[in-house]
Amino acid sequence: MRVYLDHNATSPLRPSVKAAMLAVLEQGGNASSIHAEGRKARKIMDDARDVLAFKLGCLPQMMIFTSGGTEANNMALRGVGAEHLVVSAIEHPSVLAAARATGKSVDLIPVDGQGRVQLDALQPLLGRTNTLVSVMLANNETGVIQDIAAIRDITAKAGALLHVDAVQGFGKVPVNFGLLGCDLMTVAAHKVGGPVGVGALVVRDGLVIEPLLTGGGQELRRRAGTENIPAIAGFAAAAKEPQLDTYELNDQLEAGLGGCVIFSDGRERLCNTTCFAVPGMKAETLLMNLDLSGFAVSSGSACSSGKVGRSHVLEAMGVAPDLAACAIRVSLGWNTTAAEIEQFLTTFKSLSARHLARSAA
């Protein structure tokens, strides 16, 4: 029996989500059609939008359903017409790449050695007009939670817009658009047991955003294309689930790691995320051995080809390249058990002992 510990990449589908999606798949219908089947599909989508809006602390009409976090991030950075973009150095590639692809001026906000945005470095970057700042709520590699309230205060005083990528935070910490006080917010379903391929961009009421996709009037003419009703229903079902609570399991994991280096150990992190390294034990080798032993984990960063890549997050934190090359990430989820953590620790300690023995030989 394999043990899955890579929920920050994608979490297995929850039973409640699967049931909600199957019910819609059997019904069919296009939400833009005016016949009975179309009206039923529209009602399913409207009900799901209401559920998600309540969960996210926004009005239903402020939500734009997308194909996931990457599309929503691209829409946010490209759609508001900002002439100057300021993003943290540890953002998800879908933010960093989207910012650079706009052709606008882009400044990176540095982070400290624990992975938190350096607030005193943000203010000097906001001197220009028509600026959009993008900072993630929680980091996908280290789990570090940013002080969005402080960032919001700084950006608001400078008259800049604020976008928050809350994909990793959704379902793990409270994610409330109104309380965060941002102008745009990205969420997605598949990190907490929802379906892959659906997300949303929340846009402050009155803020105009240009669509990435044109050719239809869906989503109040902000995102063309037939809505993915089964996925949207699954998204809402995932939102109804209790907030993830794996603090005890994460403590169990980290207590068993012994002398490993745990990155961002001194900062508030998500309850499910541990990024750590055994100095001298390369991540690629460890990942392969863990996979062969039945455990699914990831490196600190993985590129689209599936190979272990250099982590821009750890680099921005000032982690030495040799140590960063040893980093792996264990991320827990809704179906993780204490027995699985013990199994992982037993195998990891065995692999680590073998590595130390070879190094000493």
43: Cβ contacts below 8 Å, ≥ 6 apart: none
Tokens of 294: 């039945």
Phi, psi of 195 (to 5 degrees): -75, 150
Q: Is 203 helix (H, G, I), strand (E, B) or coil?
A: strand
Place of tokens 């997050």: 313
Tokens of 215: 């050719």
Phi, psi of 26 (to 5 degrees): -75, -25
Task: Establish whether 182 is a catalytic residue.
Answer: no
84: Cβ contacts below 8 Å, ≥ 6 apart: 104, 105, 107, 128, 129, 130, 131, 132
Q: Which of 58, 182, 275, 303 is catalytic?
A: 303
User: What does the angle CA 264 – CA 274 – CA 92 come to, to the nearest 5 degrees?
Assistant: 75
**What are the residues facing 298 on neighbouring strands?**
329
What positions carry a catalytic annotation? 303
